[in-house]
Chain A
Amino acid sequence: MDRPLNPNELIKANSRYLRGTLRESIADTATGALSPDDAQISKFHGFYEQDDRDCRRERQEQLLEPYYSFMLRARLPGGVCTPAQWLAIDAVGSELGNGTIRLTTRQTFQYHGILKRNLKPLIQRINQAMIDSIGGCGDVNRNVLCNPNPERSALHAEVHQWAQRISEHLLPKTRAYHEIWLDGEPVAGGESEPLYGETYLPRKFKTAVAVPPHNDVDVYTNDLGFVAIADGDRLLGFNVLAGGGMGASHDDTTTFPRLADELGFIPPQQTLAVAEAVVSVQRDQGDRVSRRHARLKYTIERMGLAAFKAEVERRAGVRFEPHRPVRFTSQGDRYGWVEDGEGRWHLTLYIENGRVADLAGASLMTGLREIAKIHQGDFRITPNQNLVVASVPAYQKVSIDGLAREHGLLPAERSPTRLASIACVALPTCPQAMAEAERYFPELLEKIEALAVRYGIERQAIVMRMTGCPNGCARPYVAEVGLIGKGPGRYNLQLGGDGTGLRLNRLYRKNLNESEVLETLDGLFVRYAANRLTEERFGDFVIRDGLVKPVIDPAEDYHEAD
């Protein structure tokens, strides 16, 4: 292996534990950008440099640099925050972001359009609300998912605590964040990063905790997964999963999405040791030459599952018990009010594309602010970019419901497919985007809904997910219908997810424009309407009908010709 390390490895190594020259970059008023190296380091602090791609060329002609701004992603394990925190999140978004809050598929919120000079004030403001953005992005463990499970509050509380503990345990230990943003005292020296080392991980690392039967966290798509095994409301332990990941590169057959392998069952008290061991194996064995092949899924493919598992057991000092049987039934959210066993109510709100904003006819942002002012429970951001107003006492149900209706948070009918579908941010801010997603998906869905109505299949939810690039933020490879941006107005059409996140889909048609997408779906819907079995999901039908072969072992068969 004489191939040179990826340049990012040197940037990390030279960053003095993630300090880089961020201070100088922030102080430079002549550009809205950071230095290129700092733009890499900043991710570990939770923010990405972006620019408004809609006006990039125009500004180049105007001899103006790109319209740089930043996207900051908070760390919010399990997506839970208090009403007071929500009010702070809301105020900061209005004053220092672009006036919107973006809920994400990783159960946290993002601000877009933050100007460089506003970064420090923004981080200080959310810090006052006890929220940080450490590891929001970057080559470390990212925000830990945990499904909201509102109807099982006691179990949720316990599992959520584990999500929080995992998140804390896997946090970088450097004081750089406190020094730079919170004016903390500089560390005199001798600082170390016991888990990560000075080059951190080779690539991002995602962890999720799931409470069956709901797989809204898409636990199999994470590098590290914990599936709660409970007896009633009592947590017995976790099935541990490793090696899932969504990202792939177009036309590179050495890359592929992958679902996690099952390592086995552990009791709760071994959770942190196992998490740390998985991270440390990836730290030592992950590919630091090619970032494309640096995720844990490739490490496990290279090591072999048995060797990987043995190494994790050795490092954690545990032995995995046999995997406990579990059953997942859905990967979407369940909307509306539900009551839990203790007489509290939970309202799941559909937030289209996760974008909390005041729109014409729907003042979502104002509505949530008004709710937060009286709400006494908590808020839970779901992995489908929606929001749960959780733990509402019965006597407040009416007033919160009223506010939600008043502000357009509970509109009338939405198709089951729309409610089950998600899109990533993409253009104009995401630097990775090759095609539209958030801005375009709703109007495409309208046309797809019309097709569904034409063939009488509109009552069947189809999980559809669109991303602007193949990196997979909206987890499109486990959707029944995945649309993955290939170029402006062009998408790869993927088919065959099972609607519960347990089966990868497969590329069906490449590089389609809108009319080709609709034409293709039209043909598929005709067949589905005519030949589906009772209760048969669309994703299962396309497999049974032989339209696509199921993906069994993606390293081997994902790129097989259709």
Chain B
Amino acid sequence: MQNNAKRAVGFPPHPLDGLQLTRLQQAVEGLNSEQLAWASGYLAGLGSVQPVPERAANEAPAVTILYATQGGNARGVAESLAASATARGLAPRLVSADQYRPRDLAKERLLVAVISTQGEGEPPESAHELFKYLKGNKPPRLDGLHYAVFGLGDSSYEFFNQAGSQLDALLQGAGAHALQARVDADVDFQSIAASWQEQLLTAVEKQQPADQARIIPLQRKPSVVRHDITHPYQAELLERRRITGSDAVSEVYHLALEIDAEAILYRPGDALGLFFRNDPALVEEILALSGLAGEAEVSLGGGSLSLAQALAERLELTQLHPRVVKGWASVSDDARLAALAEDAEALRRFARERQFIDLLQAHPAELDAQRLVELLNNQQPRLYSIASSQAAYEDEIHLTVSTLGYRAHGRDHLGGASGYLGRRIAEGDRLGVYVAENPGFRLPQAGDTPIIMAGAGTGIAPYRAFLQERQVLGSSGRNWLVFGNRHFHRDFLYQTEWLDYRKQGLLDRISLAFSRDQGDRAYVQACLHEEGAEFYRWLQEGAHLYVCGGIAMEQAVRQSLLEIVCAQDGLDAESAEVFIESLREQGRYQRDVY
């Protein structure tokens, strides 16, 4: 919000020359409110100490903590590490990978990287430049660098923690020395993060020259609690309404949550992490199948509670993790399961296609309540793109949720969070949420930059936030929505709002692809092809392209983009790739893929 306010009112009178001002603006670019508050204190601190201590111009701080986050977990770990480091009197530099100049690696002496992995094994968008640099033709020599990598991933995916291991290998290949073995944390990363942090800082301190260990941290005014994955905010559901026709196959809901505008700040493009209650019917079934009493007392996370409560509120029941299957194999006497546990790929597939209840039913096992609780993972929050702009709804967060429901293994299955949000939560109920920042998916800084927003299904959500934001700010840039879903009459999410925006002149263009309306299945990428000339004209005019949706859609759009660039500009595929790459580097091609 601060950034927006700044843009809206212009920069106040100042004593800086043009270049200095530009540098300052660049330096604070992309900082969140808390970082800005910190920076202002930092600058004030610098100003109050006279004379300014002499330092070599490019001297690196004691330790650089670099994070590349997708949903905010990596940032959380990095921040926590930075806080502990500061408390120990170290002077960490905490920086997001997209704010980091890869060439500066050569000047680092101590680097800690906290990095998550996306679904297909890719690093987060924010680390794109860093990886490109390390994999490039002229890789740096990093003999003077000590580093540590903390990877966050999900072992139910094939490329578990691939980004972290790649980074580890790249750094090592460049001659850097591992300060500590890489950690590949799984979805339950919190406890391992805590112990890793302690060990690491101890190691860092040993590396630290004595004279750099005496920096006095800036005293910060105690601010409101920062809500994150470990301290979720309890938001109240204000409203839920179905926004697909009653005859639609897909059940999509619009939800509005009430938040405290002081405690929760978000920007268009951000996601919301949320915790949910499991289906009571599912809990009942699990209790019945396992023959355990819901009242049985179990201990979990240092406290004790009933098994029923643990199952309903604390444990992961719907996203079956391979680790759980493996654990289950060890308690059930099922040879097939034991064999499965040995085959990583088959195990992953098995887990992906099932919920815990399927495992329990097909492979019964005798175990007590406590053992069950220990076998199961803690519930992982789910991330949803935020569908509102705080500029328009100061104390609300809107979500667009598609309820996942399917039949398999002889029973109906319902998504954990989507089932909760779509079917069970009632208005007035509260749920734990936190903002997962998504710095790789942001509106252009300049309000007059045109944008093309391509989305499929609930991938339309962030664009609703974009347009709300642009409307409130009075941004003059043209807006083009490209949307795909099944049926025009049933699944045109937020149709009346888009039509209103068009009527008001805010939305300049709508292109639609409804795949089940006619014989030839039309998808978003076909829309782009059809309007290739116009699409390319917009890009030539500086438009930013956003893509939000599933992996397949994202890949198809990229392919279309490539073909359009070739066709429109007469480029060969290689030059077109370069063009697209340059779009990406300029932040003009941003993706939010799930």
Give 1 or 0 for each of A47-75: 1 = CB within 8 Å of chain B CB. Answer: 00000000100111111110100000000
Chain B residues lying within 8 Å of A65, measured Cβ to Cβ, are 495-496, 499
Residue B254 interfacial (CB < 8 Å)? yes
Q: Which of A279-328 contact B (CB under 8 A)?
A: none
Task: Tell me if B489 and A63 are in contact (CB < 8 A).
Answer: no
Chain B residues lying within 8 Å of A534, measured Cβ to Cβ, are none
Residue A269 interfacial (CB < 8 Å)? no
Chain A residues lying within 8 Å of B246, measured Cβ to Cβ, are 55, 58, 62
Query: B residues within 8 Å of A by Cβ?
Result: 241-246, 254, 488-490, 492-499, 502, 510-512, 517-518
Chain B residues lying within 8 Å of A55, measured Cβ to Cβ, are 245-246
- Contact (A29, B488) CB under 8 Å given A58-B246, A62-B241, A62-B242: yes
- Contact (A32, B512) CB under 8 Å given A61-B241, A62-B243, A64-B496: no
CA distance A32 to B254 in the complex (A): 22
For A66, give the chain B residue with the smallest CB separation: B496
Chain B residues lying within 8 Å of A29, measured Cβ to Cβ, are 488, 510-512
CA distance A508 to B203 in the complex (A): 99
CA distance A267 to B241 in the complex (A): 68
CA distance A59 to B518 in the complex (A): 22
Q: Size of chain A's interface in residues, with CB distance under 8 A?
A: 16
CA distance A29 to B254 in the complex (A): 23
Task: Tell me if B242 and A30 are in contact (CB < 8 A).
Answer: no
Residue A31 interfacial (CB < 8 Å)? yes
The 9 closest A-B pairs by CB, nearest first: A30-B510, A63-B496, A63-B243, A62-B243, A64-B495, A29-B512, A63-B494, A65-B495, A65-B496
Chain A residues lying within 8 Å of B510, measured Cβ to Cβ, are 29-30
Nearest CB in chain B: distance from A96 CB, A: 12
CA distance A488 to B241 in the complex (A): 27
CA distance A63 to B492 in the complex (A): 9
For B517, give the chain A residue with the smallest CB separation: A117
Give 1 or 0 for each of A160-200: 1 = CB within 8 Å of chain B CB. Answer: 00000000000000000000000000000000000000000
CA distance A59 to B497 in the complex (A): 13
Task: Tell me if B499 and A62 are in contact (CB < 8 A).
Answer: no
Chain B residues lying within 8 Å of A58, measured Cβ to Cβ, are 246
CA distance A64 to B488 in the complex (A): 10
Chain B residues lying within 8 Å of A117, measured Cβ to Cβ, are 517-518
- Contact (A32, B489) CB under 8 Å given A63-B254, A63-B495: yes
Task: Tell me if B498 and A30 are in contact (CB < 8 A).
Answer: yes
Nearest CB in chain A: distance from B511 CB, A: 8
CA distance A62 to B496 in the complex (A): 9
Chain A residues lying within 8 Å of B495, measured Cβ to Cβ, are 30, 63-65
Give 1 or 0 for each of A466-490: 1 = CB within 8 Å of chain B CB. Answer: 0000000000000000000000000
Q: Which of A60-98 contact B (CB under 8 A)?
A: 60-65, 67
Nearest CB in chain A: distance from B453 CB, A: 14
CA distance A117 to B512 in the complex (A): 13
Task: Tell me if A64 and B492 are in contact (CB < 8 A).
Answer: yes
Chain A residues lying within 8 Å of B243, measured Cβ to Cβ, are 62-64
Q: Name the prevailing secondary structure of the B interface residues.
A: mixed
Contact for A63 among B488, B497, B502, B511, CB less than 8 A: B497
Chain A residues lying within 8 Å of B241, measured Cβ to Cβ, are 61-63
Task: Tell me if A30 and B502 are in contact (CB < 8 A).
Answer: yes
Chain A residues lying within 8 Å of B490, measured Cβ to Cβ, are 64
- Contact (A30, B496) CB under 8 Å given A62-B244, A62-B245: no
For B481, give the chain A residue with the smallest CB separation: A30
Nearest CB in chain B: distance from A38 CB, A: 15
Task: Tell me if B488 and A32 are in contact (CB < 8 A).
Answer: yes
Task: Tell me if B499 and A31 are in contact (CB < 8 A).
Answer: yes
CA distance A60 to B497 in the complex (A): 11
Give 1 or 0 for each of A133-177: 1 = CB within 8 Å of chain B CB. Answer: 000000000000000000000000000000000000000000000
CA distance A31 to B518 in the complex (A): 16
Nearest CB in chain A: distance from B508 CB, A: 12
CA distance A59 to B490 in the complex (A): 9
Q: Which of A325-348 contact B (CB under 8 A)?
A: none
CA distance A62 to B250 in the complex (A): 13
Task: Tell me if B489 and A67 are in contact (CB < 8 A).
Answer: yes
Task: Tell me if B497 and A30 are in contact (CB < 8 A).
Answer: no
CA distance A475 to B307 in the complex (A): 72
Nearest CB in chain B: distance from A467 CB, A: 29
Nearest CB in chain B: distance from A483 CB, A: 31
Chain B residues lying within 8 Å of A62, measured Cβ to Cβ, are 241-246
CA distance A63 to B499 in the complex (A): 10
Task: Tell me if B245 and A59 are in contact (CB < 8 A).
Answer: yes
CA distance A59 to B496 in the complex (A): 10
CA distance A64 to B489 in the complex (A): 8
Nearest CB in chain A: distance from B115 CB, A: 39
Chain B residues lying within 8 Å of A60, measured Cβ to Cβ, are 496
For B507, give the chain A residue with the smallest CB separation: A30
Nearest CB in chain A: distance from B23 CB, A: 45
Known: A60-B496, A62-B242, A63-B254. 9 other contacts (CB 8 A): A30-B495, A30-B512, A62-B243, A63-B497, A64-B490, A64-B492, A64-B495, A65-B496, A115-B489
For B493, give the chain A residue with the smallest CB separation: A63
For B244, give the chain A residue with the smallest CB separation: A62
For B242, give the chain A residue with the smallest CB separation: A62
CA distance A115 to B496 in the complex (A): 18
For A29, give the chain B residue with the smallest CB separation: B512
Chain B residues lying within 8 Å of A115, measured Cβ to Cβ, are 489
CA distance A57 to B21 in the complex (A): 54
CA distance A58 to B495 in the complex (A): 14
Q: Which of A18-52 contact B (CB under 8 A)?
A: 29-32
CA distance A435 to B92 in the complex (A): 74
Nearest CB in chain A: distance from B568 CB, A: 23
For B527, give the chain A residue with the smallest CB separation: A29
CA distance A319 to B246 in the complex (A): 63
For A60, give the chain B residue with the smallest CB separation: B496
For B492, give the chain A residue with the smallest CB separation: A64
For A118, give the chain B residue with the smallest CB separation: B518
CA distance A500 to B309 in the complex (A): 77
CA distance A62 to B254 in the complex (A): 9
CA distance A59 to B499 in the complex (A): 14
CA distance A36 to B242 in the complex (A): 28
CA distance A61 to B245 in the complex (A): 10
Nearest CB in chain A: distance from B186 CB, A: 39
CA distance A115 to B490 in the complex (A): 13
